[in-house]
Amino acid sequence: GLFERANEGTLLLDEIGEMPLVLQAKLLRILQEREFERIGGHQTIKVDIRIIAATNRDLQAMVKEGTFREDLFYRLNVIHLILPPLRDRREDISLLANHFLQKFSSENQRDIIDIDPMAMSLLTAWSWPGNIRELSNVIERAVVMNSGPIIFSEDLPPQIRQPVCNAGEAKTAPVGERNLKEEIKRVEKRIIMEVLEQQEGNRTRTALMLGISRRALMYKLQEYGIDPADV
């Protein structure tokens, strides 16, 4: 059904490396003959489809092992793109996080408008062993569990949620004795005030520098009792 619906369009085959050999043979026939038959049917259906295949497996190694068809590999491998892991392109994390925020907010009918700067810093610092799928799951969880308009650091999983402190900053107490939530808020407030001072109290430029919306910044200023005129 997918091939029929994708006729004259593009079909993404994700994790192509997990496809059993018997299905690989059927896919190869469709790509070569540009036609297929429905299960249990006898009518031949013509299709014109652009295929994009994705995998995290080494298909060339699988070809040598005999677990992936060589003819299908070369049929698919017309344009080969290697996408680096998310940890090697951290500049994409904020863009992807905001994309998933909009997507899952819409799907779950939530009015969540932004990710606060400290939470975004934690997301950017995380190594993301599960790559984009892990980031997607983290944002979806935060959206589903959140009841407010902004995703904060405490909405993130424990393994990502780490206090961010300057190396030269004096420690007021052993780590185990500090309240993590209060520590994160303290550092977040300091960062906002520093950027606000650098931008001479201009809220629009401050929000831009922090990578959040102006509305989110106003929310944080109110939460922390910060008056731009006093900075």
What is the distance between the alpha carbons of residues 150 and 34, in angstroms, rounded to a whole number?
48
pLDDT at site 162: 66
Alpha-carbon distances of 186 from 91, 113, 122, 183, 198, rounded to whole Å:
25, 22, 15, 5, 19
Contacts of 115 (CB under 8 A, 6+ apart): 97, 98, 101, 123, 150, 151, 212, 216
Helix (H) or strand (E) holding 231: none
Of 173 and 106, the structure prediction assigns the larger pLDDT to: 106
Q: Do domains 2-76 and 89-230 have the same CATH topology?
A: no
Answer yes or no: is pLDDT of 58 > 50.
yes
pLDDT tens-digit series, residues 1-29: 677 788 888 889 999 999 999 999 999 99
Q: Which residue has the tokens 């469709």?
A: 30
Residues 138/158, Cβ–Cβ less than 8 Å:
no
Q: What is the DSSP string of 32-44?
A: HHSEEE-TT---E
Helix (H, G, I), strand (E, B) or coil at 201: coil
pLDDT at 227 over 80: yes
- CATH 1.10.8.60 applies to domain 89-230: yes
Per-domain residue ranges of the chain? 2-76, 89-230
Q: Does domain 2-76 have CATH number 3.40.50.300?
A: yes
pTM for the complete prediction? 0.58
pLDDT recorded at residue 165: 41
The pLDDT score that the predictor gives to residue 136 is 96
